[in-house]
A and B are shown apart, each in its own frame.
Chain A
Amino acid sequence: MRTLTFSIKVFIFLFAVNLQAQKTSKKETPKDSVVYKTGYGLRLGIDLSKPGLSFIDKSYTGFEIVGDYRVSKNWYVAAEIGHEEEITFEDFTTSTSKGNYIRLGANLNTYNNWLDMNNEIYIGGRYGFAIFEHTLNEFTPNISTGSTDTPIIFPNQTITTPVSESGLTAHWFEFQIGIKVETFKNLFIGFHGAYKIGLSIDDQENFKTLYTPGFNRVFESNTGFGFNYTISYLIPFVNK
């Protein structure tokens, strides 16, 4: 009887030790994946397409600063601020739009990076706001007869007195799709395309806003398109 009790005690002890051993062995097994850290911080850059376009197109000048701040693994708070001036030439009117804009929003990175790469394929949403001045430089009243067979019999006159209105504002929503690629350590090249939906775009009196800074050409349905090509630098605050 004594031996039996002893052997039970030994058995329980061994069992317990065995359990203990299993627990410790689990703890000590090294993980089979390494956590690669990427930089979190403020990324600042400029749009290269706008100075480029200013150089080619004499009727346009523009400048844009872009920035984003990473708040989690895939989310970035992003903004663009800029200044644009564009002369719009149409068949019967010539107008100038000039002003500043800001676009605020966020980007969601949908790309799963390998190892410690820090590239992005993102979708973004923005709220855009612009304060601008719109000028009707000159216009020719449209007295066309609508048919080439019917000639215009009365003379026409181009009105060349510019009419300007400043302090006009525009609000819009913007949907972006873009990429950002880390080319050198902390240096990024990026591109995005955007579709814009105007919420309210002020018009000057007896005319319509044909171009809004930050929004580009205003289509008849109050929508617009845009793109930029950026170079930006990441100032990493922490690596996570």
Chain B
Amino acid sequence: MRFLKYAIILFVAAICFLSCEKDDFCTQNPVTPNLVLRFYDNTTLTEFKEVKRFTMSTGGITLFSDIATDSIAIPLNTIAEETIFTLTRNETDSEDNTGDETATLTVKYTSENEYISRSCGFRVIFNNVTFEATGWIDRLSVTEVESIKNQANAHVNIFH
């Protein structure tokens, strides 16, 4: 009986400590990585340069509008093979849009579904990514990226 008592205590303790599982809620967000862009000054090449009155849209959907930033994280279309972004900036006006300049960033890739966990399901990673830019974007730091699997660092630096 003494043995049984210890066995029960061990059993209950095991259940208490080992049943607390972290796989019920997906705490990893976002699971599918965003595309991270950073904006640099085209003359110094090392300093960040904010884009003034920055508006970004794709396929008629506006991601954000009229902000000043040097760093953005944007989603890619997972069911298509390319996403074309329209980037609008205005460095001359403070109110109206007469000084708007536009640029396009075309991102092409092949998407792949990768399993993460019970609660998070599958995420999409992007392979063989290529970038193409026109308009006020002078230069991109890279035009080809092997894969986008996380968003810890910038994938492309944009010089303008």
> Is the CB of B21 closer than 8 A to any CB of chain A?
yes
A90/B119 in contact, CB under 8 A:
yes
Q: Cβ of B23 and Cβ of A145 under 8 Å apart?
A: no
The answer on a CB contact under 8 Å between A147 and B29 is yes
In the complex the two chains form, is B121's CB within 8 Å of A141's CB? yes
Chain A residues within 8 Å of B30, by CB: 143-146
Query: What is the total number of residues of chain B having a CB less than 8 Å from a CB of chain A?
Result: 40
Q: B104: CB under 8 A from chain A?
A: no
- A191-229 CB mask vs B (1 if < 8 Å, else 0) is 001010000000000111010000000011101010000
Check if A118 is an interface residue, CB within 8 A of chain B.
no
Contacts A141-B124, A143-B124, A155-B79 given; does A206 touch B119 at CB 8 Å:
no
Give the chain A neighbours of B19 by CB distance below 8 A. 219, 225
Q: Compute how far the CA of A207 lies from the CA of B121 in the bound complex, rounded to whole angstroms.
A: 9
User: In the complex, are the beta carbons of B114 and A206 less than 8 A apart?
Assistant: yes
- CB of A180, distance to nearest CB on chain B (Å): 14
B78 touches which of A110, A141, A145, A195 (Cβ 8 Å)? A141
User: Is there an interface contact between B118 and A220, defined as CB atoms closer than 8 Å?
Assistant: yes
Give the most central of A142, A146, A223: most B CB within 10 Å. A142
> Does A123 make an interface contact (CB < 8 A)?
yes
In Å, the complex CA distance between A90 and B8 comes to: 33
Question: Is B145 on the interface with A (CB-CB < 8 A)?
Answer: no
Which residues in A have some Cβ–Cβ distance to B below 8 Å?
A: 90-93, 110-112, 121, 123, 139-147, 152-157, 159, 175, 177, 193, 195, 206-208, 210, 219-221, 223, 225
16 new A-B contacts, CB < 8 A, other than A142-B121, A195-B18, A219-B21, are: A91-B26, A91-B121, A139-B113, A139-B121, A141-B78, A142-B120, A147-B29, A153-B75, A154-B80, A155-B77, A155-B79, A156-B79, A159-B113, A206-B114, A207-B115, A208-B118
